[in-house]
Amino acid sequence: MRYFILINWILVMTGCFMPWLYPKLFVIGMDGIDMVDGKVILVLAIVGIVVSMVQFRVQRKGLFMLQGLLGLGIIAISGMELLVFYQRAYPVGPGLFLVFLCATQIVCAVTSAYRRPLL
């Protein structure tokens, strides 16, 4: 389960470098790293990777809770971005979807792993 969480953190970090907004008439294309929200999510993903690596050495369930909180923060930020893009009818790129879905998988995996013994 910890490897699954670590891979999802890496995918969240990868999603920050992918396009979040496709170019369209009067809309410029942007990657996630070009926006402030993408930079915040990248920092949260790096912190999540570090916490996940620490959890390989020190097996504590409290670190699952920290990863879950980081994942919820990323879900909130990327969910607000998705809402704004859909309200303005912007073409959403795959990076934002990847960030949102991988953060959701992290939260689901952390909540299921928190109830079971450490694997």
What does the angle CA 37 – CA 80 – CA 30 come to, to the nearest 5 degrees? 45
H/E run at residue 89:
none
Tokens of 81: 């971005």
Beta bridge partners of 19: 31
Question: Which residue would you say has higher pLDDT here, 18 or 72?
Answer: 72
pLDDT level of residue 1 (50, 70, 90 thresholds) = confident
Q: What is the pLDDT of residue 118?
A: 54
The identity of residue 47, as a single letter, is V
H/E run at residue 76:
helix 62-87
pLDDT at 101 over 90: yes
Q: What is the pLDDT of residue 12?
A: 93
